[in-house]
Amino acid sequence: MIPILTTTSTVMCPHGGQAVLATSNTEACVDGAPMLLLTDVHVVVGCPFAPAAPSPCTTIRWLSGAAQTALRGVPVLLQTSVGLCLNAAQAPQGPAVVVQTQQRAQGI
């Protein structure tokens, strides 16, 4: 079992930008915080990445979620879920980094 991500989790881009964890889920919560879903797209703020031209991470799209834990058929996100950070042109910038999550509710 792996911890489920909620809106109170901490997710960052690989360059130190912070994800704003909002969700379309209004039904299922853990300790009052909505669980995140595979279909959620999260905004990234404060990414300093600019190797040749400004191209900071602006969003995170999730590539994998729970295999057996879902809400209305949509997989929830787990601590081990894979997210891809993208710049404004939708070019991949690296993997999302889950820094912190709740430990009470878990999924598979």
Q: Tens of pLDDT along 67-102?
A: 999 999 999 999 999 999 999 999 999 999 999 999
pLDDT tens per residue, range 8-43: 999 999 999 999 999 999 999 999 999 999 999 999
Per-residue pLDDT band at 108 (split at 50, 70, 90): confident
Q: What is d(CA 60, CA 40) in angstroms, rounded to the nearest whole number?
A: 9
C-alpha to C-alpha distance for 74 and 9, rounded to whole angstroms: 19
The CA distance from 102 to 63, in Å, is 21
Region for 102 from its dihedrals, namely left if φ exceeds 0, alpha if ψ lies in -120 to 50, beta otherwise: beta
Domain formed by 2-107, architecture: Sandwich (2.60)
What span, in angstroms and rounded, lies between the C-alpha atoms of 78 and 37? 9
What residue spans define the domains of the chain? 2-107
Residue 50 has what pLDDT?
74
- CA geometry: angle at 75 spanning 69 and 78, to 5°? 75
